[in-house]
Amino acid sequence: MTDVTLEVAKQLVDAAEEKAAEIDVPMCIAVMDDAANLVAFHRMDDALLASIDIAQDKAYTAVSLKLDTETVWEVSQPGESLYGLGNTNDGRIITFGGGIPLEVDGTVVGGIGVSGGSAEEDVTVASAAVEAFESS
């Protein structure tokens, strides 16, 4: 099983930062291990201050629910089975894109959370980090 070590987390941060620079959106990037402990955090110059907490909460959501935050959004809409989920866990559950679990052989070993742009931009940047994780 691959652990999300500091070395791994740095690689993910680098991949995310590279993609964020490519799309010209400063981001906050958080990487957590399988117990939702913060392993690495990086705030690019000029990234939104609110994104510091949001990125960490996106990573927390991805790990604790073992779901990407886009899926959490879908299942937490009015009329859906988990409506109101975003109001739990002291508000730490994020219900919009940018948080993705890191998996090895179907087991969640960590998560990445990215914040700073639109939900679509955040997903793009987080996905670049996941691709780097899967290819390492």
Across the chain, which distance is largest between two alpha carbons, in Å? 42
Lookup result for tokens 């809409």: 77
DSSP H stretches of helix in 1-136: 6-22, 50-65, 69-75, 119-135
pLDDT of residue 34: 96
Structure confidence at residue 69 (pLDDT): 97
pLDDT at 1: 46
Query: Domain 6-135 - what CATH class?
Result: alpha beta
Residue 127 has pLDDT above 70, yes or no: yes
pLDDT of residue 68: 97
Contact indicator for 16, 112 with CB cutoff of 8 Å: yes
Identify which has the larger pLDDT, 1 or 82. Answer: 82
Contacts 24+ apart (CB under 8 A), 104-107: 104/1, 104/2, 105/1, 107/1
When pLDDT is averaged across residues 106-125 and rounded to a whole number, the result is 97
| pLDDT at 63 exceeding the cut of 70 | yes
pLDDT tens, 3-62?
899 999 999 999 999 999 999 999 999 999 999 999 999 999 999 999 999 999 999 999
* pLDDT at residue number 13: 98
